[in-house]
Amino acid sequence: MKIGIFGGSGFVGQELIRILTSHKNVEIAFVTSNEFNGNVVSSVFPNLPLNIKFISHEEGKERKVDFCFLALPHTKSAPFANHLYKKGIKFVDLSGDSRFRDKRVFEEWYKVKHQSPGYLKETVYGLPEIFREEIRNASIVGNPGCYPTSVILPLYPLIKNGVVKEDTILVDSKSGVTGAGRKPKETTHFVNVYENFKVYSLGRSHRHVGEMEYILKRKVYFTASLLPIRRGILSTIYFKLKKIGVMEKILTEFYGKEKFVKLYPSGSFPQIKDVVYSNRCDIGFLEEEDLGIIVSTIDNLVKGAAGQAIQNMNIMTGFREDEGLTERGISL
Give me the count of residues in the chain.
332
Q: Catalytic: which of 19, 146, 251, 298?
A: 146
Residues forming a β-bridge with 239: 292
Residues forming a β-bridge with 170: 221, 238
> For this structure, is 146 an active site residue?
yes
SS3 175: strand
> What's the one-letter identity of residue 12?
V
CA angle 234, 279, 26 (to 5 degrees): 150
Asked if residues 251 and 157 have their Cβ atoms less than 8 Å apart, the reply is yes
Asked if residues 151 and 237 have their Cβ atoms less than 8 Å apart, the reply is yes
CA 255/CA 190 separation, integer angstroms? 38
**Helical ranges in the chain per DSSP H:** 11-20, 41-44, 57-60, 78-87, 103-110, 128-136, 146-160, 190-193, 208-216, 247-255, 306-317
Residues catalogued as catalytic: 146
